[in-house]
């Protein structure tokens, strides 16, 4: 074997030219090559059009998913220049499409872009690099220009393709299937992002078309294309109204806008009767998922303003302590949008804003505007202060309850809570906690598990719906208390993910309505109070089988109805799934299946609950790491998740009824 330490020389240094670095390490440029990375290609192209809109030279953007799976993004901006670039000797269009860090956004105001989102200059060139094919069309100077690329390489010089009176750019790209895990675009994901951009760029029309007819069979008349259009004159104010659509507001949405030397600052906020905070931040229209300096400045000014007003009007007496950040943010929905010339993002995916001057700017502007609002609207101010002071009292009560829970956990020591059967391993990375519905299933799980790394916590009945309860009430629920102690992370302001006792927390409930309800209640609890566990990938949903299909000594487990049909087919039972046309005849179809199976000496056992399985079956089908199937719980879109939990688990009945009526026909084999 050669000694690499001794042979290290200039010959071993690789130089990746052009777009090769992107193809070599795509994750460095788009974060990931899964479905999120795929959609990131669209965002990069759309961001360029949004930059034109922010400059005021574009008011229409069109995004089309074509029938062949390609995507077209077109705008009526100025059009990418096509004249020759001095430094590269290529046209400006080809330079932008084939050179990293090339674009019109590096020269400050001289470049024509006062603010922009695509500041790294890698956007459209990365899309080109990761596409099997890309077609660019530019309309400017009275002419239409076209150029085609394959695997990032221009196939010819720019071609003139006619005359036009319009201006703009159109990019069509075909994602490279060798790069991405999937090349199937999701309509809902695209719509959510485009809606967001339309709220942030008021006065701009963003249209969407999905020409994949196979996706909308039965939903649209034959020959019709799925179309959607967004236009919001109200900007971020409209965005907050949208986020709070299903919530009971305490005040009308407050909107403020001010341009200062550091940035243009837009903030909209509203308090509702809910207990959760929902603050979404943007910098140059880029969603800063991890917040940053603009969020820090907002929170600091909010707490200071509320406390100052409460003291000046006598709501807080001299002996009273100030309300905390947590108190003034309960039930708050806010959208913060800043637009600045030189944003400093942390990370290639731009998820956190790092400009320190923006913190001061947002803090100053919000403190000034919000203080004015409170003084000028005494009734609304009184409602806000009452909400915050109630939250403060609840916080003190929940702290006492939480301390009791944690003290109880400490006193119980090794025995831990309730009926928890802990594992012997103390290494969280290999330990699993199964949250099981009922004592019967809990007994089977305890006997069937691998005691070294699998712990079992049976729940008695349904836990509290935390969407409609504050932390203090929540902590009086015995099942929730047991779960908190078992997890070891603490809760609320004492939460520490590093103290998690298990890195796989598995929800294992029956495959019926009650099981689904318990699973939803647990997911609501985890999303609202243990969200970092979801983000870390620690929460899973077990997938127990629906059927056991046996023939002689041969046994197979079916996890879906399709699995059952496939297994029966292999065992020689044909045409079992001949479903009668009438929906109410399903029961008869099941009897027919059973009769045909009997004729073939095959037995089908339908598992209504986990308790029907003996310990060996439960291990073999649901708990054995070598055979089991589990779903990892993720939150791809926090805004959408927040809305769904609020609709399904919140106090408002009408939105829930509407949701059920809308989606009822999509539910198959409902077990009532």
**With 60 as the cut, is the pLDDT of residue 67 above it?**
yes
| pLDDT tens for each residue of 325-366 | 999 999 999 999 999 988 898 865 568 999 999 999 999 999
Query: How far lies 53's CA from each of 92, 115, 117, 266, in Å?
Result: 21, 11, 11, 17
Taking the whole predicted model, whether its pTM rises above 0.85 is answered as no
Spatial distance between the Cα atoms of 571 and 554, rounded to a whole number of angstroms: 10
| pLDDT tens for each residue of 443-459 | 989 999 999 999 999 98
Residue limits of CATH 3.30.565.10 in the chain: 20-230
Residue 558 pLDDT class (50, 70, 90 cuts): confident
Bridge partners of 604?
A: 549
What pLDDT is stored for residue 662 in this prediction?
63
For residue 395 the two structure tokens come to 């916080």
User: What is the dotted CATH code of the domain comprising 416-544+632-666?
Assistant: 3.40.50.670
Spatial distance between the Cα atoms of 356 and 444, rounded to a whole number of angstroms: 56
What pLDDT is stored for residue 467 in this prediction?
82
∠ Cα 277 338 251 (to 5°): 40
What pLDDT is stored for residue 566 in this prediction?
87
Contact 630, 506 (CB under 8 A): yes
Task: Give the three-class secondary structure for 612.
Answer: helix
Least confident of 367-376, 547-556, 575-584, 621-630: 575-584
E strands, 199-356, are 205-210, 226-230, 254-259, 264-271, 278-283, 286-287, 332-339, 345-346, 352-353
Residue limits of CATH 3.40.50.670 in the chain: 416-544+632-666
Residue 622 pLDDT class (50, 70, 90 cuts): very high
Report long-range pairs for 231-236 (Cβ below 8 Å, ≥24 apart). 231/198, 231/203, 231/204, 231/205, 231/206, 232/198, 232/199, 232/202, 233/202, 233/203, 234/202, 235/199, 235/200, 235/201, 235/202, 235/266, 235/268, 236/199, 236/200, 236/266, 236/267, 236/268, 236/335, 236/337
Enzyme catalytic residues: 437, 510, 512, 514
Q: Going by CATH, does the domain composed of 20-230 fall within 3.90.800.10?
A: no
Closest Cα to residue 290, out of 352, 359, 343, 337? Answer: 352
Half-sphere exposure (Cβ direction) of 347: Cα atoms closer than 13 Å: 14
What pLDDT is stored for residue 370 in this prediction?
98
Phi–psi pair at 534, nearest 5 degrees: -70, -45
Query: How far lies 441's CA from each of 94, 420, 620, 626, in Å?
Result: 64, 13, 15, 21
Closest Cα to residue 198, out of 335, 358, 106, 30? Answer: 335
Least confident of 55-64, 484-493, 535-544: 484-493
Residue limits of CATH 3.30.230.10 in the chain: 236-386
| pLDDT tens for each residue of 201-247 | 988 999 999 999 878 777 777 778 899 999 998 899 999 999 998 88
* Number of residues in the chain: 672
- Look at 81 and 111; give whichever has higher pLDDT: 81
What pLDDT is stored for residue 65 in this prediction?
97
Least confident of 153-162, 296-305, 654-663: 654-663
- Look at 656 and 469; give whichever has higher pLDDT: 469
Mean of pLDDT values over 373-378: 97
Contact 62, 209 (CB under 8 A): yes
Bridge partners of 138?
A: 145, 169
For residue 642 the two structure tokens come to 């927040």
Report long-range pairs for 30-38 (Cβ below 8 Å, ≥24 apart). 30/126, 30/130, 30/349, 31/348, 31/349, 33/179, 33/180, 33/181, 34/180, 34/181, 34/182, 35/181, 35/182, 35/184, 35/186, 35/189, 36/636, 37/180, 38/175, 38/180, 38/181, 38/182, 38/183, 38/185
Query: How far lies 347's CA from each of 30, 119, 268, 352, 426, in Å?
Result: 11, 13, 27, 8, 34
**Over the range 545-582, which residues count as b (16 or more CB within 10 Å of their CB) and which as e?**
bbbbbbbeeeebbbbebebbbebbeebebeebeeeeee
User: What is the dotted CATH code of the domain comprising 236-386?
Assistant: 3.30.230.10
Least confident of 124-128, 201-205, 658-662: 658-662
Taking the chain, what is the end-to-end CA distance rounded to the nearest angstrom?
A: 68
What pLDDT is stored for residue 595 in this prediction?
63
Mean of pLDDT values over 119-124: 53
Least confident of 52-56, 506-510, 653-657: 653-657
**With 60 as the cut, is the pLDDT of residue 408 above it?**
no
What pLDDT is stored for residue 559 in this prediction?
84
């Amino acid at each position: 074997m050669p000694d690499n330490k001794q042979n290290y020389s200039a010959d071993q240094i690789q130089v990746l030219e052009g777009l090769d670095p992107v193809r070599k390490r795509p994750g460095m440029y788009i974060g990931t090559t899964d479905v999120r990375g795929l959609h990131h290609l669209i965002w990069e192209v759309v961001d360029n059009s949004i930059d034109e809109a922010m400059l005021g030279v574009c008011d229409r953007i069109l995004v089309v998913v074509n029938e062949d799976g390609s995507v077209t993004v077109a705008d009526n901006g100025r059009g990418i220049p096509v004249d020759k670039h001095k430094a590269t000797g290529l046209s400006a269009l080809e330079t932008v499409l084939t050179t990293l860090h090339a674009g019109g956004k590096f020269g400050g105001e001289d470049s024509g872009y006062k603010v922009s989102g695509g500041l790294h200059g890698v956007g459209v060139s990365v899309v080109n690099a990761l596409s099997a094919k890309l077609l660019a069309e530019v309309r400017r100077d009275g002419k239409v220009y076209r150029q085609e690329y394959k695997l990032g390489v221009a196939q010819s010089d720019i071609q003139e393709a006619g005359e036009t009176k319009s201006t703009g750019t159109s990019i069509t790209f075909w994602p490279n299937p060798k790069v991405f895990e999937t090349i199937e675009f999701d309509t809902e994901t695209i719509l959510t992002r485009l809606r967001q951009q339309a709220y942030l760029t008021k006065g701009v029309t963003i249209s969407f078309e999905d020409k994949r007819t196979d996706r909308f069979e039965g939903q649209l008349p034959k020959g019709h294309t799925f179309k959607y259009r967004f236009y919001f004159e109200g900007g971020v104010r409209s965005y907050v109204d949208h986020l709070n659509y299903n919530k009971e507001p305490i005040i009308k949405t407050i909107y403020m806008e001010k341009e200062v030397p550091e940035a243009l600052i837009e903030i909209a906020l509203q308090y509702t009767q809910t207990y959760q905070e929902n603050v979404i931040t943007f910098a140059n229209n880029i969603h800063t998922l991890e917040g940053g300096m603009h969020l820090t400045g907002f929170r600091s000014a909010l707490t200071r303003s509320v406390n100052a007003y409460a003291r000046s009007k006598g709501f807080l007496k001299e002996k009273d302590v100030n309300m905390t950040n947590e108190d003034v943010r309960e039930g708050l929905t806010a959208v913060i949008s800043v637009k600045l010339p030189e944003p400093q993002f942390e990370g290639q995916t731009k998820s956190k804003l790092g400009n320190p001057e923006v913190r001061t700017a947002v803090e100053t502007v919000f403190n000034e505007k919000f203080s004015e609002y409170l003084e000028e609207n005494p009734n609304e101010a009184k409602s806000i202060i009452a909400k915050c002071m109630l939250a403060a009292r609840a916080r003190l009560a929940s702290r006492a309850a939480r301390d009791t829970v944690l003290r109880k956990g400490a006193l119980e020591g090794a025995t831990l809570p309730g009926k928890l059967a802990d594992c012997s391993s103390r290494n969280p990375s290999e330990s699993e906690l199964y949250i099981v519905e009922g004592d019967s299933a809990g007994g089977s799980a305890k006997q069937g598990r691998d005691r070294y790394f699998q712990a079992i916590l049976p729940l008695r009945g349904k836990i509290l719906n935390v969407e409609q309860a504050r932390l203090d009430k929540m902590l009086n629920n015995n099942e929730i208390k047991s779960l908190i102690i078992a997890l070891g992370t603490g809760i609320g302001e004492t939460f520490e993910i590093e103290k998690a006792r298990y890195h796989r927390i598995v929800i294992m409930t029956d495959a019926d309505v009650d099981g689904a309800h318990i699973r939803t209640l647990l997911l609501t609890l985890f999303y609202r109070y243990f969200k970092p566990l979801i983000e870390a990938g620690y929460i899973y949903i077990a997938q127990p089988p629906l059927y056991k299909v046996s023939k002689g000594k041969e046994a197979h487990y079916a996890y879906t109805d399709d699995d059952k049909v496939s297994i029966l087919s292999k065992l020689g039972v044909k045409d079992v799934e001949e479903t009668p046309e009438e929906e109410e005849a399903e029961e008869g179809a099941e009897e027919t299946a059973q009769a045909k199976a009997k004729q073939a000496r095959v037995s089908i056992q339908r598992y209504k609950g986990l308790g029907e399985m003996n310990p060996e079956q439960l291990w073999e089908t649901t708990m054995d790491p070598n055979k089991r199937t589990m779903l990892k719980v993720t939150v791809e879109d926090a805004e959408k998740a927040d809305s769904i939990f609020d609709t399904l688990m919140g106090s408002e009945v009408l939105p829930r009824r509407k949701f059920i009526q809308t989606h009822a026909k999509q539910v198959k084999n409902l077990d009532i």
